[in-house]
Amino acid sequence: MPLYDYRCLNCQQKVTVRLSYAEYDTAKPKCPLCGSDKLQRAIGRVRIAKSEDARMESLADPSNFGDVDENDPKSVAKFMRKMGSEMGEDLGPEFGEVVDRLESGESPESIEQSMPDLGGSAGPGAGLDDF
């Protein structure tokens, strides 16, 4: 049977209760320490935090993107495309333009010089500096 994390509102301890899936919805589990039934489920928040962490870890793990040759603009472009789709966000027309120019063999330095707007800390230009 699965284990569920609760916080006991009576003795303020974090406790683990063993319940079947059927019991989880209906049962009133009791604190194994003090016998109180004032238990608050702690599992939902923990799960969300963990999955978010795992996502960020997978983004930060370079092995997920294969071998990126930072001296090869086409390789960097491929990496940026994959990173963009992994983040699931619209990174804007500048991002697409940078990637296109990298793919055509232009160096990141030259692209940055011709696109002064990329100098901001949150823009794709900041990413280029990391390569």
**Does 34 contact Zn ion by CB under 5 A?**
yes
Number of residues engaging Zn ion in binding (CB under 5 A): 7
- β-bridge partners, 4: 17
**Does 9 contact Zn ion by CB under 5 A?**
no
Please say which residue, 32 or 123, places its beta carbon nearer to Zn ion.
32
Task: State the Cα–Cα distance between residues 112 and 97, nearest whole angstrom.
Answer: 11
Residues in the chain: 131
Are 29 and 37 within 8 A, CB to CB? yes
Site string for Zn ion, 35-64 (x = CB under 5 A): -x----------------------------
- β-bridge partners, 15: 6
Please say which residue, 30 or 81, places its beta carbon nearer to Zn ion.
30
Q: Which residue in 55, 49, 47 sits closest to 86, CA to CA?
A: 55
Shortest distance, CB of residue 8 to Zn ion, whole angstroms? Answer: 3
**Does 31 contact Zn ion by CB under 5 A?**
yes
Please say which residue, 35 or 62, places its beta carbon nearer to Zn ion.
35
Are 109 and 101 within 8 A, CB to CB? no
From 16, 20, 27, 33, residue interacting with Zn ion (rule: CB under 5 A)? 33
Looking at residue 52, its amino acid is E
Q: Which residues contact 100 (CB under 8 A, 6 or more apart)?
A: 77
From 1, 2, 11, 119, residue interacting with Zn ion (rule: CB under 5 A)? 11
Chain residues in the site for Zn ion (CB under 5 A): 8, 10-11, 31, 33-34, 36
